[in-house]
């Protein structure tokens, strides 16, 4: 008989359903896809004639054409990764700039691929170089540069921020393992359900990134609970692939509901606590300014 997934790695289960789960404000959900993320694919498509014309014209042309196609494909891949990194950066209020400027290196590779493909005695090296520079310039003009500075990091202890970064990295690894495990079930609805929970978990990550002092209050959620969700997902995927047990599926979906409710509640608590702390700091500062005569004290008005 199937048993409800749970135990020391799961929050206390409470009866809930997907419709009852409170959703977070839309502005706090991360933007998961860059609007230009699909564009690099067409760069590869446009480069395919290099591969088509590589054969039948001698080894030099073969090497040059296939090399140009390979460099352009690598540039397109790096460009897509740069766009994804930019989307993650823009989705967060607190974020570090990308350590590796993928979009810039992608533009260089695309320019180099075009220059290599344009190398021809009729054009000469100068013509190939001009072609490459044009390709580089058009790529930068179309996709822009990588984010060049950290965002929202003023006044944050770098040591504490590094701890948060490691916790988020571990949490993302658990979410990736959940996604890979549920894919074995070959059920689109379940994959969508796991993806929705992942967005809820990432909202908690963003809240902690914005206030690293909340890490201690969220560490269990970002580590132990996500590890338990990962293990439960792997066990369910194996069981579902073997038996198609509807009871096990219902229990697993109920677990996701419980997890989502708990993660949403914790995220709201962290946001509320941060707002309360800000209000206290403002009130203390106002009182201090009033005592030092730097701010006008409130005066009473009397009716004649």
Q: What is the pLDDT of residue 125?
A: 81
Position 231 pLDDT exceeds 90 = yes
Q: Is residue 105 within 8 Å of 63, Cβ to Cβ?
A: no
Q: Is 52 exposed, middle or buried (0-12, 13-18, 19+ CB in 10 A)?
A: exposed
Helices 158-183, 226-243: inter-axial angle, 10-degree rounding: 10
- Collapse the DSSP code of 231 into the 3-class scheme (helix H, G, I; strand E, B; otherwise coil) and give the result: helix
Distances (CA, A) of 101 to 32, 35, 39, 78, 252: 19, 19, 18, 10, 41
Convert the pLDDT of each residue in 111-162 to its tens digit.
999 998 887 666 778 888 898 999 999 999 999 998 888 776 665 667 777 8
Phi, psi of 151, rounded to the nearest 5 degrees: -125, 130
- Contact between 38 and 283 under an 8 Å Cβ cutoff? The reply is no
* Mean pLDDT of the residues in the chain: 79
- For residues 300 and 109, the model is more confident at 109
How deeply is 154 buried, as exposed, middle or buried, from its count of CB atoms within 10 A (0-12, 13-18, 19+)?
exposed
Query: Which structure tokens are listed for 114?
Result: 């075009």
Nearest-angstrom CA–CA distance, 273 and 103: 38
Give the burial class of 6: count Cβ atoms within 10 A of its Cβ; 0-12 exposed, 13-18 middle, 19 or more buried. middle
Instruction: Tell me how far apart the alpha carbons of residues 258 and 274 are, in angstroms, rounded to a whole number.
Output: 24
pLDDT at 293: 66
Residues 6+ apart with CB under 8 A from 232: 5, 9, 10, 252, 255
Query: Would you place residue 300 in the very low, low, confident or very high pLDDT band (cuts 50, 70, 90)?
Result: very low
Banded model confidence at residue 174, pLDDT cuts 50, 70, 90: very high
User: What is the structure's pLDDT at 121?
Assistant: 67
Tokens of 230: 């990962």
Residues sharing a CB contact under 8 Å with residue 221, sequence separation 6 or more, in sequence order: 201, 204, 262, 263, 266
Average pLDDT score over residue span 187-216: 88
Interacting residues of 33 by C-beta distance below 8 A, sequence separation 6+: 84, 87
**Tens of pLDDT, residues 2-60:** 444 444 444 444 444 443 334 444 434 444 578 888 899 998 898 888 877 666 667 77
pLDDT at 3: 43
Give the end-to-end CA distance of the chain in Å, rounded to a whole number: 82
Give the pLDDT confidence of 57-105 residue by residue, as tens digits: 677 777 888 888 899 999 999 999 999 888 878 876 666 778 889 999 9
Distance CA 200, CA 281 (A): 29
Q: What is the pTM of this model?
A: 0.56
- Which residues 6+ apart lie within 8 Å of 110 measured at CB? 43, 71, 72, 75, 76, 79, 135, 136, 139
Q: Which residue has the tokens 């984010």?
A: 147
The pLDDT assigned to 17 comes to: 40
- 202 to 17, 206, 210, 260: CA distances (angstroms): 20, 6, 12, 11
Model confidence at 213, pLDDT cuts 50, 70, 90, reads confident
Q: How far apart are CA 234 and CA 231, in angstroms?
A: 5
Strand partners, 151: 95
């Amino acid at each position: 008989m199937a048993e409800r997934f749970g135990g020391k790695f799961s929050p206390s289960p409470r009866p809930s359903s997907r419709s009852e789960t409170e959703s977070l404000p839309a502005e706090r959900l991360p933007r998961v896809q860059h609007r230009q993320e699909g564009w690099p694919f067409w760069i590869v498509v446009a480069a395919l004639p290099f591969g088509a014309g590589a054969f039948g014209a001698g080894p030099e042309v073969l090497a040059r054409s296939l090399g140009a196609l390979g460099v352009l494909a690598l540039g397109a891949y790096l460009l897509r990764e740069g766009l994804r990194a930019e989307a993650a950066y823009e989705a967060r209020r607190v974020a570090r700039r990308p350590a590796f400027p993928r979009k810039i290196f992608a533009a260089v590779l695309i320019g180099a691929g075009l220059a290599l493909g344009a190398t021809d005695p009729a054009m000469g090296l100068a013509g190939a170089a001009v072609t490459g520079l044009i390709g580089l310039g058009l790529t930068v003009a179309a996709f822009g540069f990588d984010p060049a500075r950290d965002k929202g990091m003023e006044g944050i202890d770098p040591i504490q921020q590094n701890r948060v970064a490691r916790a988020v990295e571990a949490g993302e690894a658990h979410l990736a393992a959940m996604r890979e495990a549920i894919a074995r079930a070959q059920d689109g609805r379940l994959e969508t359900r796991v993806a929705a929970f992942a967005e809820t978990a990432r909202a908690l990550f963003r809240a902690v990134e914005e206030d690293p002092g909340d890490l201690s209050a969220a560490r269990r959620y970002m580590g132990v609970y996500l590890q338990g969700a990962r293990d439960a997902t792997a066990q369910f995927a194996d069981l579902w692939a073997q038996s198609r047990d509807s009871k096990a599926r219902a229990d697993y979906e109920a677990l996701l509901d419980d997890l989502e409710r708990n993660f949403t509640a914790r995220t709201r608590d962290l946001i509320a606590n941060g707002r309360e702390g800000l209000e206290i700091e403002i009130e203390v500062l106002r009182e201090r300014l009033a005592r030092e005569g730097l701010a006008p004290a409130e005066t009473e008005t009397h009716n004649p």
